[in-house]
Amino acid sequence: MGTESICLDEKESPPEPTEDHGHAPADMAAAEALNAADVVQPQSDSETPDDDPVKKLKEALEVARKEAADNYDRLLRVSAEFDNYKKRNAREMCELRNYANESIIRDFLPVLDNLERALSSSSANGAQANNSILTGVEMTLKEILRIMEKHGVSRVEALEQPFNPAFHQAVMREETDACPENMVTQELQKGYRLHERLIRPAMVAVSAAMTKAPATEETFQNETE
């Protein structure tokens, strides 16, 4: 009897209490609901329909297109300015090559004048002229003219030409009936051009119409009668 009562006591002993972690089932459900609320955040007031990413991309594309158009216009202007610069530079270089020797040629002109005067004086003296000197001066003059012509120097046509103030300098007027008025009758000093630029105008005499003699007193009386 004593043994049986001991076994019954052992079988009917209550279960040992489990370890308490400090969370009841109700507390665990509340925690899960709180975590879910943290994951799904409500839409903030700052997020408006204007923050649409598609709209932002369209606006950025429009700005990029405008910048591209401005850059293209700027490129066209710069290209045109550079083209004008190249043309202007080429023109200036051409003028520099053509007229770089202008001052030297100016210094040659008095030499030409002296040679021509010597030739004219020798021809006027006739037999007294020294033929060898005359021939040497003529050859020198021809050589100088050849060299100057090689460098673009040419004479201004003046004698028996209509007076042109752009190329001729009138120093006297000569009354004559041999040619029309305002014609060059004498070339006192030759003019020269370097390519298309006038270096020195030709010094000339220009024809003028003959003036009528004043009527005498007798002629005037006859006309009145």
Domain ranges of the chain: 88-151, 154-215
Q: pLDDT tens, 65-97? A: 999 999 999 999 999 999 999 999 998 888 888
The rounded mean pLDDT for the chain is: 76
| pLDDT higher than threshold 70 for residue 14 | no
The whole-number average pLDDT for the span 176-197 is: 88
Provide the whole-model pTM: 0.51
Q: What pLDDT score does 213 carry?
A: 59
Q: pLDDT tens, 87-143? A: 999 988 888 888 887 888 888 888 888 888 877 777 666 656 567 777 778 888 888
Q: What pLDDT score does 150 carry?
A: 86
Distances (CA, A) of 158 to 19, 44, 110, 120: 135, 98, 18, 18
| pLDDT higher than threshold 60 for residue 8 | no
To which CATH superfamily is domain 154-215 assigned? Head domain of nucleotide exchange factor GrpE (2.30.22.10)
Q: With cut-offs at 50, 70 and 90, classify the pLDDT of residue 3.
A: very low
